[in-house]
Structure 1
């Protein structure tokens, strides 16, 4: 429970008392909103269009920096071949996943920056291309075995694709990606991990995993830790075990200059290299969805960070200016 600070420098907040109630079940949250017991809730993407037609309810779709991808760790022998990374990225139907799993709420990801970010590189975008993916693998020497799975030098293109059970979106992504990869001779077996005690940082580094990261703040934030070789074997950071001297050099340059145009060039070059190396296969950014009583005014959505999700997070995105909210009627 939060009480308005009457000495707040920017004026006394219009809402005197603010109470956050933790309700994990989405249906229960929606019922609380409909009965007027709460005035703002988080919702999933698939319920947004239906709830938006309800009288007295407004639905807000807020962009987020939260991106989903498939981790392709270089520790696994299959992923030591750059061709495999490139083929997997080409085989995934990013738009299909965005439309079917996230109800179109977000945008396709080709790298770690949204199209609205000032450093975004539009030249790295590409469409799903099954035939080119097959050709890349064939040119790299991968051939179908008796079971149809590609193999080379004693290594088969089959692996477990892990996801956290508490996140239905990651489960659906794992299933969709598995189906896409089967079309190019790769077998990815979706495997559920019950919780983060099972999906430890070490497991993260040693397996293909449906992962999510993203920061809407400075372009250096998260990205230095994710792609710099200085963060190899560093907890959750750099899960692919990625090491590229040119990227290391550019990351250091990006965090040591204040020139906006120069930084834009630096981070666009980083995106170009990542798009070629594909240490992770980027899939999509997801918007965060909220349903509010139409009595609530003053809400201004903004790009939120990873970690908000459908169930948690009271920092970032729409809550950031709650001192300016008001209730009418």
Structure 2
């Protein structure tokens, strides 16, 4: 569904320009002998799909891909973009980009990382017949089509270490996007059997799968240090073991017992006590995470005018202030838009944002107007994954709706994240369902385009509004930062009218670590900077 104190929104375009003009140096010749010892154990979740970069858009798989792959750029803890595989990314018009790759780079199987590694991977991700969840990210490249399989004609190989990207229109933040996993390279061997590759991916990043059987499904994945990686994310430890917990309470118990080194999500049951229990080994800081739930228009009573009235009623029936205070102990902030306060360009003064405020009288009025169109029958349920620590807030939201509107409302748990997401992506789920967004890259567009643009890969509710699409496109092509931000805010005001999702709150990253590790930092997107962690 594929966060630190500062993001880049408006500043993102400035950062992208700096990246284009100057670039950053790579590593300094490998990481042998620099490790501080020890494998870092951390929490995670079973990936929804095999680990193919263009088909992974959720946090469980994304966390692993970011460790085993290196893209053209990477994001530091504050969300600033720096070159990794790229030697330089240059443009004169923000429409045609020349990308030069550092020489001598290899995948862990010895294959070269070259221009073809990116061109072939991006073309694979863009072909509709391959049914990749992140194909949307290639929409702006010349040749992409939503109607039929079409090669990305905007990709042209210049040499083994250089290629050009021609976009359909200027996009000044294009370099900033290139740190997202959809743009990772693939070795030539991946295309011989992509399904097999997804079960045993071969990357070029700071870590790699630790031999045969490293991925024990629904249990854990073990990653070793890649000794040949010489980029800027040089590991300071001996590897990662990512454990897939059935629930966050079990993970927290392991942290307290010394069986887990780093936890990136304190369970809500410990919000009142974790600071005392962990001493100075905790973090509670803003993150680029937006939480919501989606009510698909395809469900009875949730389309057209009736559906719009009911969405507004449901939204106004939720007491976000009370829930964030009681359930989350100050680790969440009620949402006033669809993005995140840590992203530059965010505002809490959007027209129509009153629909996100608790207003029981107006909620009842709107629900009655919807009933006059077609009386509501049955119950209102919100589906969620039980392994993610969501039961308390889902129950609280359901009770708020139930008590305000006088309807039957409840949570609908599914055992695992992968199970819930499969039903959602296959459009088989028959209730509302938990959604949210952990930013792929630090810009306002990333919170809007992938989730609400027509045909976008993470548009789980199949929302489509041509006016919204037009504003989004105009904002993304603007070379004026303030103008682009204003257009994105206008697009959000349409979302506040249509409510393709019901915004709930912004999340802090609330994590902790054991006495065995040091140098633990949580990044702008809530993920720990694993390569920096040391273990004595």
Structure 1 and Structure 2 fold alike (TM over 0.5): yes
Counterpart Cα distance in 2 of 1:178 and 1:7: 48
Q: CA deviation at 1:270?
A: 1.6
Q: CA deviation at 1:171?
A: 3.4
User: Can you give the 5+ residue segments of structure 2 that lack an aligned partner in the other structure?
Assistant: 1-222
Query: 1:187-226 CA distances to partner (integer Å, 9 max, x unpaired)?
Result: 434333443355553124x532232234252322252132
Would the alpha carbon gap of residues 159 and 132 (structure 1) be closer, same or farther in structure 2, given more than 3 Å must change? same
Q: CA deviation at 1:265?
A: 0.5
Counterpart Cα distance in 2 of 1:221 and 1:157: 37
RMSD of Structure 2 on Structure 1 (CA): 3.2
User: Can you give the 5+ residue segments of structure 1 that lack an aligned partner in the other structure?
Assistant: 143-150, 305-315
Alignment match of 1:248 (pick from 469, 472, 487): 469
Aligned length: 299
Residue 116 (1) aligns with residue 338 (2): no
Q: CA deviation at 1:247?
A: 0.4
Counterpart Cα distance in 1 of 2:399 and 2:315: 13
1:283 counterpart residue number: 504
Would the alpha carbon gap of residues 57 and 247 (structure 1) be closer, same or farther in structure 2, given more than 3 Å must change? same
Counterpart Cα distance in 2 of 1:202 and 1:8: 42
Residue 83 (1) aligns with residue 309 (2): yes
Larger displacement relative to structure 2 (122-131 or 207-216): 207-216
Larger displacement relative to structure 2 (2-11 or 58-67): 2-11
1:212 counterpart residue number: 436
1:133 counterpart residue number: 363
Q: CA deviation at 1:92?
A: 0.8
1:317 counterpart residue number: 527
1:191 counterpart residue number: 412
Counterpart Cα distance in 1 of 2:292 and 2:413: 16
Is the 8 Å Cα contact of residues 248 and 387 (structure 2) preserved in structure 1?
Answer: no
1:201 counterpart residue number: 426
Alignment match of 1:273 (pick from 470, 474, 494): 494
Q: CA deviation at 1:58?
A: 0.7
Would the alpha carbon gap of residues 247 and 51 (structure 1) be closer, same or farther in structure 2, given more than 3 Å must change? same
Residue 44 (1) aligns with residue 267 (2): yes
Would the alpha carbon gap of residues 189 and 296 (structure 1) be closer, same or farther in structure 2, given more than 3 Å must change? closer
Larger displacement relative to structure 2 (78-87 or 22-31): 22-31
Q: CA deviation at 1:129?
A: 0.9
Is the 8 Å Cα contact of residues 33 and 292 (structure 1) preserved in structure 2?
Answer: yes
Is the 8 Å Cα contact of residues 424 and 460 (structure 2) preserved in structure 1?
Answer: no
Counterpart Cα distance in 2 of 1:32 and 1:23: 12
Is the 8 Å Cα contact of residues 249 and 267 (structure 2) preserved in structure 1?
Answer: no
Counterpart Cα distance in 2 of 1:164 and 1:84: 21
Would the alpha carbon gap of residues 134 and 53 (structure 1) be closer, same or farther in structure 2, given more than 3 Å must change? same
Q: TM-score under structure 1 normalisation?
A: 0.76
Would the alpha carbon gap of residues 169 and 21 (structure 1) be closer, same or farther in structure 2, given more than 3 Å must change? closer
Q: Which runs of 4+ in 1 moved over 6 A?
A: none
Residue 2 (1) aligns with residue 252 (2): no
Is the 8 Å Cα contact of residues 62 and 303 (structure 1) preserved in structure 2?
Answer: no
Counterpart Cα distance in 1 of 2:236 and 2:388: 37
